[in-house]
């Protein structure tokens, strides 16, 4: 379970998204291009855990790819601390729904990958064992990824992303493919990692309970074009009780905002 | 990727811990679940049948004066009996015998049937179809030249193959990775590549300073096309998300090519290596016949020129063993390099 955290040193950096748009040009066939993000602005302070929820097509993943530096914004600026984001970097880790472990590397080699890529493996070899312990995979160092269960694979992916001590960790529905029980356990794991390192985390999720359970603030986005509809702070102490009245109240507020409450049938939630 | 044997064993141990008893058992022959006495007696029985045919059935055709073939049968009989004697004591031998005995027994018996069809009954015309003594005897008596030919073929094949593979890996990775190289390289590859390497023989003989070099060049060319094609397609079909992950881990272009794209393309590259090996055998034999006056391919046509068909078949048998050994070596290398695929694909 998540222990009450003593204030650890904050490893994360603040993240600023200012008036950012992303326009995808028309691909053969489509008459017009698509505006995936329309002047999105967001500030995440250092060490904060912010969730982004919204229906598919609202540009959540696009926003994450922009912050990761994997795509370039059409308009606006993105900053980590005071540094503008121009290209991918080890400072901004990314974990996908599919763990995307390199199948040709063992668990240990996968976790080492970031150190090898930055050419610091020799100096920081000790980190590998530490992170394997942190995610509870010591016994599986020499196993290949396809022998792991979904939850274990995702833990390797988390360790692989965190071994670089990123200032911002981007999580694109990392627990989306897991079964309900594994997912709840992994939520605690991610929170534990977050509290240990105080990395700034941006978590894209489809699961409103997950967003409430984990994050400091919840960003609700709407599609076509992708915009931020509302930002809701979660003012509950951790560990949070998934069945407390506060929790359930917040949950119904968010569903209402997203027009999924089910009370007004005329709503245009899609 | 250089895993030692201990590491591999450790891996299998872990694997079997992760996934309970399943695909980790060694290859088993269909008959191996329960060992029947017929299985173990297959080799001695086969040898006895062949010996009986050799000594008891009267010969219609003239037979070479040597006695290498019955000697071989006696050796097989002895080895078969020795295997039986040691069977209860050696675990490795047990496994091997359970798997191999039926095959080897049938092979020995086939030699007997062959002798029956040729020397004894004369069903197949001489000199084109000599009996086992004609083939095996000429293999033994001409062993020096055969060994020399095999050695020359090996040198020629390996030098051509390795040069071809190295060039193909460079061109394949370049074409697969760089869009510009793809634009210019792909049409060239698609137009020039499918021409069989042997069709270049007239040109190769004119250009190359020696017949040996032209043969090396032809074999390299034969290997180059499939390996380049499959390497390029493997590299360019690397999953984009692997590259994305690597970039967010701080990977530079060299890492992306050598530690993501190439390992991801490895299964494809090995298909190319196997295809290339096949074409290189073909090209080797043809090239040895045309310019190079040595090697197994040359030996076959030289022996045929003297109507010594025993030697022709002897060389074919050596060739079969030679090529299949090389094939086996490549399979072993693949098993080593692609060990991570075990369990992902039907192995």
Strand order in the sheet with A200-204: A92-95, A168-172, A200-204, A49-53, A217-222, A227-233
| Three-class DSSP category at A4 | coil
State the pLDDT confidence band at B249, using cuts at 50, 70 and 90: very high
State the pLDDT confidence band at A215, using cuts at 50, 70 and 90: very high
* Closest CA relative to residue B298, chosen from B169, B188, B151, B163: B151
C-alpha–C-alpha distance, residues B55 and B70, integer Å: 9
Residues of A in contact with B241 (CB under 8 A): 96, 98, 100
Average pLDDT over residues B189-212: 88
Contacts of A114 (CB under 8 A, 6+ apart): A90, A160, A161, A163, A164, B249, B250
Shortest distance between the Cα of B267 and any Cα of chain A, in A, equals 10
With an 8 Å Cβ cutoff, are A88 and B247 in contact?
yes
Shortest distance between the Cα of A30 and any Cα of chain B, in A, equals 23
With an 8 Å Cβ cutoff, are B247 and A92 in contact?
no
C-alpha–C-alpha distance, residues A63 and A69, integer Å: 10
Average pLDDT over residues B120-149: 87
Which spans in chain A are helix H? 60-68, 107-117, 125-134, 150-162, 180-197, 208-214, 245-257
A117 touches chain B (CB under 8 A): yes
Shortest distance between the Cα of A98 and any Cα of chain B, in A, equals 9
With an 8 Å Cβ cutoff, are B248 and A100 in contact?
no
| Integer angstrom CA distances of residue B346 from B1, B23, B24, B336, B341 | 21, 10, 12, 16, 9
- Is beta strand A200-204 parallel, antiparallel or unpaired with respect to A168-172? parallel
Would you state the pLDDT for residue A3?
47
Q: Are A35 and A188 in contact (CB under 8 A)?
A: no
Residues of A in contact with B19 (CB under 8 A): 147
Average pLDDT over residues B175-193: 92
Would you state the pLDDT for residue B13?
43
Beta-ladder partners of A200: A168
Residues of A in contact with B2 (CB under 8 A): none
Q: Is the pLDDT of residue A8 over 80?
A: no
DSSP state of B198: G
Q: Is the pLDDT of residue B78 over 90?
A: yes
Q: Are A192 and A131 in contact (CB under 8 A)?
A: no
A102 touches chain B (CB under 8 A): yes
For chain B positions 230-269, those within 8 Å of chain A (CB to CB) are: 239, 241-242, 244-252, 255, 259-260, 263-264, 266
- Is beta strand A75-80 parallel, antiparallel or unpaired with respect to A49-53? unpaired
* Closest CA relative to residue A112, chosen from B309, B20, B255, B23: B255
Residues of A in contact with B14 (CB under 8 A): 139-140, 142-143, 147
C-alpha–C-alpha distance, residues A111 and A98, integer Å: 16
Q: Are A55 and A258 in contact (CB under 8 A)?
A: yes
B278 touches chain A (CB under 8 A): no
A143 touches chain B (CB under 8 A): yes
B304 touches chain A (CB under 8 A): no
A171 touches chain B (CB under 8 A): no
Q: Are A63 and A72 in contact (CB under 8 A)?
A: no
DSSP labels for A175-230?
A: TTTS-HHHHHHHHHHHHHHHHHH--EEEEE-S-HHHHHHH-SEEEEEETTTTEEEE
Q: pLDDT of B291-302, one tens digit each?
A: 788 899 999 999
- Substitution target in B249, B336, B342, B344 with the highest count of A β-carbons within 10 Å is B249
Residues of A in contact with B15 (CB under 8 A): 143-144, 147
With an 8 Å Cβ cutoff, are A142 and B344 in contact?
no
Average pLDDT over residues B58-72: 84
B335 touches chain A (CB under 8 A): no
Shortest distance between the Cα of B233 and any Cα of chain A, in A, equals 18
DSSP labels for B272-322?
A: HHHHHHHHHHHHHHHHHHHT---SHHHHHHHHHHTT-HHHHHHHHHHHHHH
Residues of A in contact with B18 (CB under 8 A): 140, 143, 147-148
Q: Is the pLDDT of residue A188 over 70?
A: yes
Would you state the pLDDT for residue A29?
63
State the pLDDT confidence band at B149, using cuts at 50, 70 and 90: very high
**A and B: number of Cβ contacts within 8 A:** 97
- What domains appear along chain A, each with residue ranges and CATH number? 15-102+160-257 (3.40.50.300)
C-alpha–C-alpha distance, residues B221 and B193, integer Å: 9
State the pLDDT confidence band at B211, using cuts at 50, 70 and 90: confident
At residue B122, what are phi and psi to the nearest 5 degrees?
A: 65, 35
DSSP state of A139: G
Would you state the pLDDT for residue B35?
67
Ramachandran category for residue B307: left, alpha or beta (phi over 0 → left; psi -120 to 50 → alpha): left
With an 8 Å Cβ cutoff, are B11 and A143 in contact?
yes
Q: pLDDT of B2-45, one tens digit each?
A: 444 444 444 444 444 444 444 444 444 444 456 677 788 889 99
Q: What is the CA radius of gyration of chain A?
A: 19
Percentage of residues in chain A having pLDDT higher than 90: 29
With an 8 Å Cβ cutoff, are B260 and A102 in contact?
yes
With an 8 Å Cβ cutoff, are B251 and A117 in contact?
yes
Least CB-CB distance to A147: which of B259, B339, B343?
B343
Beta-ladder partners of A21: A75
Average pLDDT over residues B128-132: 86
Average pLDDT over residues B156-184: 95
DSSP labels for B43-104?
A: HHHHHHHHHHHHHHSPPSS---S--HHHHHHHHHHHHHHHHHHHTTT-HHHHHHHHHHHHHH
Would you state the pLDDT for residue B31?
45
B340 touches chain A (CB under 8 A): yes
Please compute, for residue B294, the number of CA atoms within 13 A of its CA located in the half-sphere on the CB side.
15
Residues of A in contact with B344 (CB under 8 A): 103, 146
Cα dihedral sign, B273-B274-B276-B281 = positive
Higher pLDDT, B12 or B85: B85
- Substitution target in A144, A152, A164, A202 with the highest count of B β-carbons within 10 Å is A144
C-alpha–C-alpha distance, residues A68 and B231, integer Å: 30
Q: Is the pLDDT of residue A171 over 60?
A: yes
Q: Is the pLDDT of residue A249 over 60?
A: yes
C-alpha–C-alpha distance, residues A175 and B140, integer Å: 69
Residues of B in contact with A118 (CB under 8 A): 249-250
> For A65, which residue in chain B has the nearest alpha carbon?
B244
Q: pLDDT of A128-152, one tens digit each?
A: 988 888 888 888 889 999 989 888 8
State the pLDDT confidence band at B229, using cuts at 50, 70 and 90: very high
At residue A217, what are phi and psi to the nearest 5 degrees?
A: -140, 155
C-alpha–C-alpha distance, residues A26 and A59, integer Å: 17
What would the two tokens of residue B109 be?
């018996």
Residues of A in contact with B243 (CB under 8 A): none
Contacts of A263 (CB under 8 A, 6+ apart): none
At residue A221, what are phi and psi to the nearest 5 degrees?
A: -115, 155
> For B264, which residue in chain A has the nearest alpha carbon?
A104
Q: Are B114 and B54 in contact (CB under 8 A)?
A: no
State the pLDDT confidence band at A193, using cuts at 50, 70 and 90: confident
C-alpha–C-alpha distance, residues A172 and A7, integer Å: 26
Least CB-CB distance to A146: which of B249, B266, B344?
B344
For chain B positions 10-69, those within 8 Å of chain A (CB to CB) are: 10-11, 14-15, 17-19
State the pLDDT confidence band at A204, using cuts at 50, 70 and 90: very high
Would you state the pLDDT for residue B216?
92
| Residue A50 burial by Cβ neighbours in a 10 Å radius (0-12, 13-18, 19+) | buried
Beta-ladder partners of B229: none
Q: Are B152 and B215 in contact (CB under 8 A)?
A: no
Would you state the pLDDT for residue A36?
84
Q: Give the least confident one: A164-173, A221-230, B242-251, B270-279.
A: A221-230
């Amino acid at each position: 379970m998540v222990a009450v955290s003593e204030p650890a040193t904050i490893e994360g950096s603040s993240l600023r998204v200012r008036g950012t748009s992303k326009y995808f040009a028309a691909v053969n066939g489509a008459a017009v291009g698509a505006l995936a993000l329309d002047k999105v602005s967001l500030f995440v302070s250092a060490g904060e855990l912010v969730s982004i929820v919204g229906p598919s097509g609202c540009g959540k993943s696009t926003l994450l790819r922009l912050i990761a530096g994997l795509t370039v914004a059409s308009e606006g600026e993105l900053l980590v601390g005071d540094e503008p984001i121009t290209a991918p970097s080890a400072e901004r880790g990314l974990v996908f729904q599919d763990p995307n472990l390199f199948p040709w590397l063992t668990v240990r080699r996968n976790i080492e990958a970031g150190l090898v890529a930055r050419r610091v493996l020799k100096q920081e070899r000790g980190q590998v064992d530490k992170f394997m312990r942190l995610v509870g995979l010591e016994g599986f160092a020499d196993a290949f990824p396809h022998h792991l269960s979904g939850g274990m694979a995702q833990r390797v992916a988390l360790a692989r992303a965190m071994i670089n001590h990123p200032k911002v960790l981007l999580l694109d529905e990392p627990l989306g493919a897991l079964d309900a029980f594994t997912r709840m356990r992994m939520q605690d794991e991610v929170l534990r990692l977050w509290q240990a390192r105080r990395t700034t985390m941006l978590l894209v999720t489809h699961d409103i309970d997950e967003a409430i359970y984990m994050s400091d603030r919840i960003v609700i986005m709407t599609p076509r074009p992708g915009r931020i509809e509302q930002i809701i702070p979660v003012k509950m102490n951790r560990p949070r009780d998934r069945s407390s009245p506060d929790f359930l109240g917040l949950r119904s507020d968010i569903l209402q905002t997203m027009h999924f409450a089910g009370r007004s049938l005329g709503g245009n939630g899609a | 990727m250089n895993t030692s044997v201990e590491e591999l064993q450790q891996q299998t141990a872990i694997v079997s811990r992760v996934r309970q008893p399943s695909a980790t058992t060694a290859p088993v022959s269909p008959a191996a679940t329960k060992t029947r006495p017929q299985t173990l007696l297959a080799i001695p029985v086969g040898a006895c049948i062949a010996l009986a045919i050799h000594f008891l059935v009267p010969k219609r055709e003239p037979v070479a004066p040597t006695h290498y073939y019955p000697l071989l049968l006696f050796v097989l009989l002895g080895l078969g009996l020795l295997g039986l004697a040691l069977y209860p004591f050696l675990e490795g031998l047990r496994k091997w015998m359970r798997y191999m005995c039926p095959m080897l027994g049938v092979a020995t018996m086939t030699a007997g049937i062959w002798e029956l069809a040729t020397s004894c009954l004369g069903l197949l015309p001489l000199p084109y179809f000599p009996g086992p003594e004609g083939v095996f005897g000429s293999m033994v008596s001409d062993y020096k030249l055969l060994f020399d030919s095999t050695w020359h073929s090996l040198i020629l094949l390996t030098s051509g193959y390795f040069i071809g593979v190295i060039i193909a890996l460079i061109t394949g990775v370049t074409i697969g990775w760089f869009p510009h190289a793809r634009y210019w390289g792909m049409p060239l590859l698609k137009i020039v590549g499918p021409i069989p390497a042997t069709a270049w023989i007239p040109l190769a003989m004119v250009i190359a300073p020696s017949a040996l070099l032209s043969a090396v060049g032809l074999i390299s060319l034969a290997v180059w096309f499939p390996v380049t094609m499959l390497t390029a397609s493997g590299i360019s079909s690397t999953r984009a998300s692997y590259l994305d992950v690597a970039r967010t881990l701080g990977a530079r272009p060299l890492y992306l090519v050598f530690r993501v794209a190439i390992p991801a393309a490895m299964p494809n590259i090995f298909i190319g290596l196997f295809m290339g090996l096949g074409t290189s055998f073909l090209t080797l034999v043809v090239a040895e016949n045309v310019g190079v006056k040595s090697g197994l391919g040359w030996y076959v046509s030289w022996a045929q020129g003297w109507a010594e068909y025993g030697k022709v078949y002897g060389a074919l048998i050596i060739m079969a063993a030679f090529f299949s050994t090389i094939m086996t070596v490549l399979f072993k290398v693949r098993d080593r390099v692609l060990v991570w695929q075990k369990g992902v694909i039907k192995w």
